[in-house]
């Protein structure tokens, strides 16, 4: 996730900015940069890689500048590189901005700015902000006397720029003609002000301010902040002042590292409503029941002639692929199959020009998946990627693809990447389906329901305390069976993988219908069966599976649809909101993630770095 820090006040800004970036390093990034406003000039220094590289570059030119902004970048538009690193400046170097989030309409804005003579230095969406601000300021400046932009003009220009943006942003801007202030704005991407004595700080999360300030103010959506040495003013976009509550900054280092959560895994589970929304952002056309996947534009024609999809992946990404198989067959009407990448690469796969091979990978570096796509390319298949890390090897070696925009996933156990992958697979099913006979009505229904998912996820997350209690109840079980059918069979595998990975307990995932073919012999009081059984097309079948287990003294923990009173009488139940059957895995997986997390906490293990595991398996 990108990180922002800014400073304006009585001390040289450089030290705080570098220290602040270091405190944000845990969020994951690929490059960093700093801009200092010194004697009416903006000086920027950028580095690919770690903040330490940036610090090395800075050492050769320590500056006494008392105002500056800095950024750690997690690439979304434009590969990781020095020129794509923030801060970004305008044509004349009079404005510098840093930005977190995604500007959905940046292509149109960039094209229009280019036609008006603006020269771009980077591939990022962010740079359009600097050039728009330049335009709005020169428009304001034309009305100012002697070319000095009055403070209100900088602010007015800033607001005029904001009103042209679509998407999500946390922005901090500074201008040579207004060295005594900095402007900030927030829409969906957090920003927090740090209040000092004759100095002000700003950051994308409070952990960057630990040790420098005692009181903070969180910006809310559609608010701007004017900050200066003497303090701050928060306003609405219509320039009405907003009184804000100043909060004490009480963080210890560990809590600060995980933005208030005890572990990255918990933070990433709770990030899912936002990461899911980010995966959808700018990619749905609800009125037409369609999906717009810019990353597939170059292969759009070829995709129309595809009659078979093979998905290759590993681990959690293999489980999301299994959900995608159901989606693609049911809604895109395309034959789909899923192969474990580690097996696929040793088989003699029968592929041809009408086959699309899709690699799903959070890291984009998994050796088995990489080997699988190289094999597929050899055989002439169209190779696509659904990847989270921008510019990763798999992303670069596929013919085209769609990024998940989940932000860095730090915990070894994958959670938000899974639900973001499902978002992309749902979009892909919609995209292909609407070319192949999926009706407008169904397309609109799917699009509408996808937009509800973040809200439904929030509702599931409110049950964290109840899930924690159930985890305490079952934490010492000898054996766990995870059972699900159809869209939720992959969730059974995913739930079992989660608890194996971080709680080191023997757990197996099975299709519920498979119980009769052997596993039911396992059932006794030592086994808890986690049954994923929302009210869907196979609900009744699941109920009879549950009865068979209860009859043999097995314990049941059911994931059920809100209001399922019958289940609540027979078993421990965690409820999820009703949604389209194809989207139930997105909601049912959250209780499984939290259950595994709390069982592992009960057992006292290292949640974020489980034994024997690596975040990315780059070796065979
Ligand atoms: C999931 O919790 C595991 N960390 C692991 O199974 C992981 O999903 C697998 O190694 C694939 O990684 P990738 O998505 O980065 O390719």
Please tell me the distance between residue 322's alpha carbon and the centre of ligand 1 in angstroms. 14
* CA of 569 relative to ligand 1 center, distance in Å: 37
Which of 43, 379, 535, 615 is an active site residue? 615
Residue 17 pLDDT: 96
pLDDT band at 250 (very low <50, low <70, confident <90, very high): low
d(CA 404, CA 417): 7
- Read off the pLDDT of each residue in 197-202 and give the average, rounded to a whole number: 96
Distances (CA, A) of 465 to 461, 490, 575: 9, 25, 13
pLDDT over threshold 60, residue 265: yes
The more confidently predicted of residues 495 and 615 is: 495
- Say what the pLDDT of residue 615 is: 78
| Residue ranges of domains in the chain | 3-255, 258-461, 463-620
pLDDT value, residue 436: 94
* Mutation pick for ligand 1 pocket among 414, 424, 498, 615 (CB with most ligand atoms within 8 Å): 414
91 is known as an active-site residue: no
Report percent pLDDT > 70 for the chain: 96
Ligand 1, residue 313: give the atom nearest the CA: 16
Determine the atom of ligand 1 nearest the C-alpha atom of 414: 2
Centroid of ligand 1 to alpha carbon of 270 (angstroms): 19
Give tens-digit pLDDT for 6-53. 999 999 999 999 999 998 886 678 899 999 999 999 999 999 999 999
- Contacts for 487 with CB less than 8 Å, ≥ 6 apart: 323, 326, 536, 581, 582, 584, 585
Average pLDDT over residues 561-581: 96
Confidence of residue 601 (pLDDT cuts 50, 70, 90): very high
Cα of 414 from ligand 1 centre, angstroms: 6
State mean pLDDT over 383-395: 89
Q: Is 465 a catalytic residue?
A: no
| SS3 at position 523 | coil
Residue located nearest, by CA, to atom 7 of ligand 1: 315
Q: What is the pLDDT of residues 555-564, one digit of tens each?
A: 999 999 999 9
Q: What is the pLDDT of residue 150?
A: 57
Q: Which tens digits make up the pLDDT trace of 443-495?
A: 999 999 999 999 999 999 999 999 999 999 999 988 999 999 999 999 999 99
Catalytic residue among 2, 177, 404, 416: 2
Q: Once rounded to an integer, what is the mean pLDDT over residues 514-536? A: 94
Instruction: Please state the pTM of the whole predicted model.
Output: 0.75
Scan for tokens 């709390």, then name that residue: 598
Residue 410, token pair as written in the block: 């730090």
- pLDDT tens per residue, range 268-282: 999 999 999 999 999
Q: Which of 78, 98, 83 is nearest to 35 (CA)?
A: 98
Q: Give the pLDDT confidence score for residue 256 in this predicted structure.
A: 55
**What's the DSSP call for residue 446?**
H
- pLDDT tens per residue across span 111-147: 999 999 999 999 999 999 999 999 998 887 655 555 5
Task: Report the nearest atom of ligand 1 relative to the CA of 497.
Answer: 2
Q: What is the mean pLDDT of the chain?
A: 92
Question: What per-residue confidence (pLDDT) applies to 535?
Answer: 97
Q: 298 or 367: whose pLDDT is higher?
A: 298
pLDDT number for residue 393: 84
Going from the Cα of 421 to the center of ligand 1, the distance in angstroms, rounded, reads 12
Residue 618 has pLDDT above 80, yes or no: no
Higher pLDDT, 425 or 609: 425
What atom of ligand 1 comes closest to residue 315's alpha carbon? 6
Half-sphere exposure of 608 (CA within 13 A, CB side): 16
pLDDT tens profile 410-448: 899 999 999 999 999 999 999 999 999 999 999 999 999
pLDDT value at 207 more than 80? no
User: Counting atoms of ligand 1 from 1, which one is nearest the CA of 413?
Assistant: 2
Residue 340 has pLDDT above 70, yes or no: yes
Mean pLDDT across 189-215: 90
pLDDT score of 148 more than 60: no
Question: What pLDDT was estimated at residue 58?
Answer: 87
Given this model, what pLDDT does residue 510 score? 97
Taking the C-alpha atoms of residue 355 and residue 383, their distance in angstroms, rounded to an integer, is 9
List pLDDT tens digits, range 216-248: 998 988 999 999 999 999 999 999 999 998 887
Residue to mutate (ligand 1; options 362, 371, 373, 612; most atoms within 8 A of CB): 362
Closest CA to ligand 1's atom 9: 315
Superfamily, domain 3-255: Aminohydrolase, N-terminal nucleophile (Ntn) domain (3.60.20.10)
For ligand 1, the distance from its centroid to the CA atom of residue 303, given in whole angstroms, is: 27
Same fold, 258-461 and 463-620: yes
Q: How far is the CA of 511 from the centre of ligand 1 (A)?
A: 21
Q: What is the 3-state secondary structure (H, E, C) of 561-610?
A: ECCCHHHHHHCEEEEECCCCHHHHHHHHHHHHHHHHHHHHHHHCCCCCCC
Those residues whose C-beta lies under 8 Å from the C-beta of residue 440, and which sit 6 or more positions away, are 288, 289, 434
Pocket test for ligand 1, best of 496, 498, 612, 617 (most atoms within 8 A of CB): 617
Distance 319 CA to ligand 1 centre (A): 10
Question: What pLDDT does 396 receive?
Answer: 85
Alpha helix segments (H runs only) across 264-402: 264-270, 272-280, 300-304, 315-327, 341-344, 367-378, 393-397
pLDDT at 223: 96
pLDDT computed for residue 151 by the predictor: 55
pLDDT of residue 616: 78
- pLDDT band at residue 391 under the 50/70/90 scheme: confident
How far is residue 519 from each of residues 208, 481, 528, 556, measured CA to CA in Å? 51, 9, 13, 15
**Residue 73 alpha carbon to ligand 1 centre in Å:** 23
Distance CA 491, CA 286 (A): 27
Q: Which residues line ligand 1 (CB under 6 A)?
A: 314-317, 361-363, 366, 369, 412-414, 501, 616-617
Quick one: average pLDDT of 160-186? 95
Q: Which CATH architecture has domain 258-461?
A: 3-Layer(aba) Sandwich (3.40)
Average pLDDT over residues 203-217: 87
Position in ligand 1 atom list of the atom nearest CA 412: 4
CATH topology for 463-620 is: Rossmann fold (3.40.50)
The residue whose CA has the least distance to atom 5 of ligand 1 is 315
Number of residues that this document lists for the chain: 620
- Ligand 1 atom closest to Cα of residue 615: 4
């Amino acid at each position: 996730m990108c990180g922002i820090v800014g400073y304006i006040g009585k001390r040289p800004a450089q030290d705080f900015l570098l220290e602040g970036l270091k405190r944000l390093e845990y969020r994951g990034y690929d490059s960093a940069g700093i801009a200092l406003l010194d004697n009416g000039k903006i000086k920027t220094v950028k580095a690919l890689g770690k903040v330490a590289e940036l610090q090395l570059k800075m050492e050769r030119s320590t500056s006494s500048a008392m105002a500056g902004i800095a950024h750690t970048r997690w690439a979304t538009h434009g590969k990781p590189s020095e020129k794509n690193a923030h801060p970004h400046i305008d044509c004349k170097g009079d404005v510098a901005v840093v930005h977190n989030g995604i500007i959905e309409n940046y292509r149109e804005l960039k094209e229009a700015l280019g036609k008006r003579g603006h020269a771009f230095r980077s591939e990022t969406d962010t740079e359009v902000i600097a050039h728009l601000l330049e335009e709005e300021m020169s428009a304001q400046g034309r009305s100012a006397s002697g070319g000095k932009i009055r403070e209100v003009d900088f602010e007015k220009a800033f607001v005029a720029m904001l009103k042209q943006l679509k998407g999500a942003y946390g922005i901090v801007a500074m201008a040579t003609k207004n060295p005594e202030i900095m402007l900030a704005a927030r829409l969906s991407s957090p920003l927090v002000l740090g209040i000092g004595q004759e100095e002000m700080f700003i950051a994308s999360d409070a952990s960057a301010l630990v040790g420098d300030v005692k009181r903070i103010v969180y910006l809310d959506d559609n608010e701007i902040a004017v900050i200066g040495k003497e303090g701050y003013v928060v306003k609405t976009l219509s320039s009405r002042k907003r009184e804000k509550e100043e909060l004490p900054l009480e963080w210890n280092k560990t809590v600060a590292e995980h933005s208030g959560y005890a572990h990255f895994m918990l933070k990433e589970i709770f990030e899912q409503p936002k990461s899911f929304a980010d995966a959808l952002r700018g990619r749905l056309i609800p009125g037409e029941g369609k999906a717009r996947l810019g990353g597939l534009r170059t292969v759009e024609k070829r995709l129309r002639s595809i009659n078979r999809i093979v998905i290759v992946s590993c681990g959690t990404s293999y489980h999301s692929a299994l959900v995608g198989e159901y989606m693609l067959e049911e809604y895109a009407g395309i034959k789909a199959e899923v192969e474990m990448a580690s097996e696929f690469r040793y088989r003699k796969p029968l592929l041809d020009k009408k086959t699309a091979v899709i690699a799903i990978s959070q890291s984009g570096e998994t050796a088995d998946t990489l080997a699988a796509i190289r094999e597929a390319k050899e055989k002439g298949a169209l190779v696509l990627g659904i990847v989270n890390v921008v510019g990763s090897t798999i992303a670069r070696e596929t013919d085209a693809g769609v990024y998940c925009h989940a932000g860095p996933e730090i915990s070894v156990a994958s959670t938000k990447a899974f639900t973001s992958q499902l978002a992309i697979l749902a979009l892909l099913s919609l995209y292909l389906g609407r070319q192949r006979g999926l009706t407008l009505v169904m397309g609109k229904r799917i699009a509408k329901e996808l937009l509800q998912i973040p809200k439904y996820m929030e509702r599931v997350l409110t049950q964290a305390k109840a899930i924690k209690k159930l985890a305490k109840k079952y934490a010492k079980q000898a054996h766990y069976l995870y059972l699900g059918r159809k869209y939720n069979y992959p969730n059974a595998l995913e739930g079992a993988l989660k608890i194996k990975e971080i709680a080191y307990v023997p757990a197996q995932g099975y299709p519920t219908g498979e119980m009769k073919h052997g596993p039911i012999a396992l059932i006794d009081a030592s086994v808890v069966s986690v049954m994923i059984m929302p009210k869907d097309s196979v609900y009744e079948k699941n109920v009879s599976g549950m009865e068979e287990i209860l009859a043999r003294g097995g314990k049941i923990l059911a994931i059920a649809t809100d209001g399922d009173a019958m289940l609540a009488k027979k078993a421990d139940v965690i409820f999820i909101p009703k949604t389209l059957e194809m989207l139930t895995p997105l909601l049912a997986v959250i209780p499984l993630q939290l259950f595994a997390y709390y069982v592992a906490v009960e057992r006292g293990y290292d949640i974020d770095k489980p034994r024997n595991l690596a975040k990315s398996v780059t070796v065979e």
